[in-house]
Amino acid sequence: MSPLVVAPDEPGSPPGLDDAQQLRYSRHLLLNDWDEACQQRLLAAHALVVGAGGLGAPALMYLAAAGVGRITVIDPDEVELSNLQRQVVHQTARIGWPKVASARQALAEINPEVTVQAVHRAADAAWLAEHLPGCQVVLDCTDRFDTRHAINRAAVGAGVPVVSAAALGWDAQLTVFDPRQPEAPCYACLFPPDAAPVEARCALMGVFAPLVGTLGVMQAGEAIKLLTGLDAAPGQRSLAGRLLMLDGRQWRWTELQARRRADCPVCGPPPHARVHN
């Protein structure tokens, strides 16, 4: 079965917001930091979402609602009944659909202005190397260690920031890996590829639905700030170099500082260029 790829024509870039857009995005335009130029940058942006499950579902909905002009979503799975406890972009009537097709249908109903490319396959290294450089931000909404590392390697090579989250049971974490910032770590700095953990999936251990929804929404928030440039605005701060950890039992946040590793096999200098004392 060949991969499903649905990609309507890309929208043009209008000179200004029309009346319907002014109304649709009015609650953002009322923010002190958010002007029409900011919204235009969002409408012209391209975000890649890897995974249309517990994290990807709410992230996709908020990206579309905010007006991210082009969204590519890639996922190899179909909608199952057990997904519906937390994967809010899908519906009972779409059980059996490819998740990306189900997500595209939902996003069209939320905001028909958004162009959605739905790719029904796994995101492997070859696909990421080809398609990731055309994006301005990547949302890592996967639950596989090897896929996270493939995303990281492609993003470092293309200089594209990654908004990464994970949730399992009652615990979750969120950060941004931004290769454009010299001191910011990449995923391999924090989780070395040669130290793979025991794979743990919510299919075996469960996950608290509002927890995964919270993290997916926050991923969208970080992506939107990166796409508009608001992460660098006065009073704003990116999550690059910071790892947020959330205990869903008590809704308690813990923040850890993270730095780039000089010997990182992905974002560090080539072995022959490293200086050893």
pLDDT digits (tens, 9 = 90+) for 105-123: 999 999 999 999 999 999 9
Q: Which residues pair with 165 in a beta bridge?
A: 174
| 30-47 residue pLDDT tens | 999 999 999 999 999 999
The pLDDT of residue 222 is above 60: yes
Residue 8 banded pLDDT, cuts 50, 70, 90: very low
Residue 3 banded pLDDT, cuts 50, 70, 90: very low
Mean pLDDT over 142-163 rounds to 96
| Percent residues over pLDDT 70 in the chain | 88
Q: Which residue has the higher pLDDT, 232 or 50?
A: 50
Domains of the chain, CATH where assigned: 16-273 (3.40.50.720)
Cβ contacts of 199 within 8 Å, gap of 6 or more: 144, 145
Average pLDDT, the chain: 91
Output the pTM of the full model.
0.91
The pLDDT of residue 5 is above 70: no
Given 141, 189, 202, 264, which residue is catalytic?
A: 202
Known catalytic membership, residue 202 = yes
